[in-house]
Copies of this chain bind each other. A is one copy, B any other.
Amino acid sequence: MMILQKIKSEGLAHLSYILGDGDEAIVIDPRRDCDVYLDIAARQGMRITHIFETHRNEDYVAGSLDLARLSGAVIHHGAAMAFAYGQSTREGDTFDLGDLRLRVLETPGHTMESISLVVTDRNFGGTPVGVFTGDALFVGDVGRTDFYPDREREVAGMLYDSIFNKLLPLGDQTIIYPAHGAGSVCGDNMASREFSTIGHERQHNPALQNTDRESFIDYKVAEHHDQPAYFRLMEHYNMEGAPPLGELPRPRPLTPEQVAQAVKQGAVIVDLRSPEAFAGAFIPGSLAMPLDMLPAYAGYLLDYEHDLILVPETLEQIPTAVRYLIRMGFERLPGYLRGGMHVWEISGRPYDRIGAVHASTLERRIKVNGAFTLLDVRKITEFTAEKRKAHLSGGFAGAPGRNRQGQAGCDILRQRTPRHHCRIDPEAAWL
């Protein structure tokens, strides 16, 4: 019995895989809450023997050490980086798994030690059936090459070589299994489709249409990518080995009194509710991070020095939020507001609201009366996108990553609902 299962971590759009045949399985790029792999293996009667990290990830905490501890598996990395744990693997190394064979390709570019893993079925010839491409090649995009700022053309060239000289030659028939899907911070242009082949990418991946090495390099260095602050800790963890996770944290119920007390002692309030609920009533000073956007925003706006207090819509959101946060290294999760905003409101403590201006009203006001500042707090790539009329004329760009230390825009930023429709405080003078 052969299995190949994709495990998607929503929000991060991180894709990991478990591949098994007979009584053995391997895992590629495991996430930190690694029970999912152990459960699949257990259901199949398989033991996990090898763990592969296609590269030192920067956007989440690798679960390799935890999984190795719990499964007895051996961890493998590319040889070009000095990891504090696991074993080095090199071009041409092979690993057998029942009837399957995995072969290592060194595919640097995104990082120096990036590897890809080619899968062949020994009962059906030596032609590749699939390849795990890590962050080298995605469906519809290729890996970022902005991590070595002073060597950017060099690493973009390395990625060209990895793709054009190693991956594409595997043959059109090769299915690709990348480490990310649409929504990841590791690429802006990935397809929402998560299945493709070398042949299809060769023909339709926009980046690969730059078949000339120099054009490809030019294409890559022209890209803009944000590097959220949390990347640094992720890189450190994934190089040195993350602290063991153990049981998942279980935030405890807090009364409004206890929440207020925690805030006094430095805790940050993360509000998981929808933008509409946040707009209806929120605790002054709290950060709006609707649950489904938490993985996208936490790394920009949170740090590791403060406790995080959650304000959930429902109790069911808590375990999901915890998984999202520990995957990014946020483990200081002492509690959550029990009973939701309602109990805060009836406790007599102050709460705030954010009004909304309907698009038609805003349009009218712009026409009638230009005497206000329109601050566009979206990402710079959204502000400047060419495909569509990307921003209102007269708008002023104030992207979140740029305004964290007290500039104008910061207050609105902290309270804004992270959706793209316009919400502006109705108490503002101009209304």
Contact = CB atoms under 8 A, between A and B. Distances in A.
A319 B316 CA distance: 15
Contacts of A360: 348
B193 A173 contact: no
Contacts of A302: none
Contacts of A173: 172-173, 197-200, 202-203
Q: Which of A130, A171, A200 is the most central at the interface, judged by chain B CB atoms within 10 Å of its CB?
A: A200
A274 to B, nearest CB: 6
Report copies per complex: 4
A156 B72 CA distance: 50
Nearest to A316: B316
Interface in A310-345: 313-316, 318-319, 338-342, 345
A171 B192 contact: no
A2 B193 contact: yes
A2 B316 contact: no
A276 B340 CA distance: 10
Contacts of A275: 280, 342
A124 interface: yes
A286 B275 CA distance: 19
Given A71-B250, A173-B198, A191 B124 contact: yes
Contact of A70 (B129, B247, B346): B247
Given A129-B196, A173-B199, A197-B173, A43 B273 contact: no
A127 B197 CA distance: 11
A423 to B, nearest CB: 9
A383 to B, nearest CB: 17
A252 B72 CA distance: 9
Contacts of A314: 313-314
Nearest to A255: B23
A81 interface: no
25 contacts: A2-B191, A4-B193, A4-B195, A23-B253, A42-B319, A43-B315, A44-B315, A45-B315, A45-B339, A47-B253, A71-B252, A127-B199, A171-B172, A173-B200, A175-B195, A197-B197, A197-B199, A275-B342, A277-B277, A277-B280, A279-B281, A279-B353, A313-B314, A345-B421, A348-B359
Interface of A: 1-2, 4, 21, 23, 38, 42-47, 70-72, 99-100, 121, 123-125, 127, 129-130, 140, 171-175, 191-200, 202-205, 246-247, 250, 252-253, 255, 273-281, 313-316, 318-319, 338-342, 345-346, 348, 350-351, 353, 355-356, 358-360, 419-421
